[in-house]
Amino acid sequence: MRAAVVGGGSWGSAFALHLGRKDIETRLWIREKDICEATARLRENTTFLPGAIFPPSVTFHNLLSETVEDTEIVFIAVPSQFCRSVFTRLQSHLNSDQIIVSMTKGIEEGSLMRMSEVMTKLFAPRINPKIAALSGPSFAKEVALEHPTAVVVASEDRETAKIIQVAISGPYFRAYTSDDILGVELAGSLKNVIAIAAGISDGLLFGDNSRAALITRGLAEITRLGLKLGAKQETFAGLAGVGDLVLTCTGQLSRNHYVGYEIGRGKKLHAIISHMKMIAEGIKTALTGRQLALRENVEMPIFEQAYLVLYKEKDPRTALQDLMARKLKTE
């Protein structure tokens, strides 16, 4: 099997490393030419995944055409804000026999589309590839360290999901399948906003009670919106739902929790992101998730307060107080 991984950040690099360790011929596309050349020379992505040495089965590319040509599966791990431009550049190099897997946890600004929807819209006029999404609790660094990890692969075509499942599963990496691609993508995207809220709570030096409440009520909000859009209830109780939510709200490697934590400590958002090498998707999703909720007339108070803190500079302590002061109701 030949696979391509489009995206040379921490997650794309860790996943290419994982595939390479399985002796899958893997091509990793790295957008930045200098980082691509350095990674090829050192066999290590010192910028985004330092300490992990790639096996010979992984090669490094700066051209999308040579990265995806003659590959069976193309995994795409770029931030959501860049996906449309990357998909547009990719479409002339893909064919209908390939499986395209989104590993991006975000919602497109403006269209409010999930990444698989953007793919379908862009690719359909010329080709009709098999499309899937991969999500779940999977910090890149821990995958690179071969810590046991479980994810979910979702596709409307069950056979496509099974092909990916078999290809990527191994001694420390286990994939489950789902046909609820809508729910898997939504859960993976929306949980990042709750992670920012949990980080704010931790930054304000609130304790475990507060974090547990945010995780639980955050899951309720995510599930509410997901069900309104047609997702399956059980998806939100699985790896892409509660699994990824707990990890991102509590893990020390969580970029979104880090952003919230620094805000809770009093730092301004622009100052926080100016020192980050990687993108925290929850910042944009606080905007797009709120817009989805408003469009669907779904009540999501944590999302509303996260949006106000991030985009209107509302005081975080006031935002949490306003959440607690809402009208009492049944669970």
State how far the Cα of 287 lies from the Cα of 292, in Å rounded to an integer: 9
Give the pairing type, strands 130-135 and 149-154. antiparallel
- 3-state secondary structure (DSSP) of residue 27: strand
Q: Which helix (DSSP H) or strand (DSSP E) does residue 5 occupy?
A: strand 2-6
Token duo for residue 298:
């779904």
Give the pairing type, strands 149-154 and 25-29. unpaired
State how far the Cα of 99 lies from the Cα of 155, in Å rounded to an integer: 10
* 191 catalytic per annotation: yes
Angle between helix axes 115-123 and 181-203 (nearest 10 degrees) is 140
Q: Which of 22, 191, 268, 312 is catalytic?
A: 191
Tokens 């958002």 appear where?
269
Q: Could you tell me the CA-to-CA distances from 38 to 14, 30, 45, 77, 189 in Å, in that order?
A: 16, 11, 7, 20, 31
Amino acid in position 103: M
Sequence-distant (≥ 6) Cβ neighbours of residue 123 within 8 angstroms: 87, 91, 94, 100, 129, 131
Tokens 């080709």 appear where?
127
Find the length of the chain: 331
State how far the Cα of 82 lies from the Cα of 105, in Å rounded to an integer: 12
What is the separation, in whole angstroms, between the first and last Cα of the chain?
Answer: 49
Q: Could you tell me the CA-to-CA distances from 270 to 87, 207, 259 in Å, in that order?
A: 28, 26, 10
Positions marked catalytic: 191
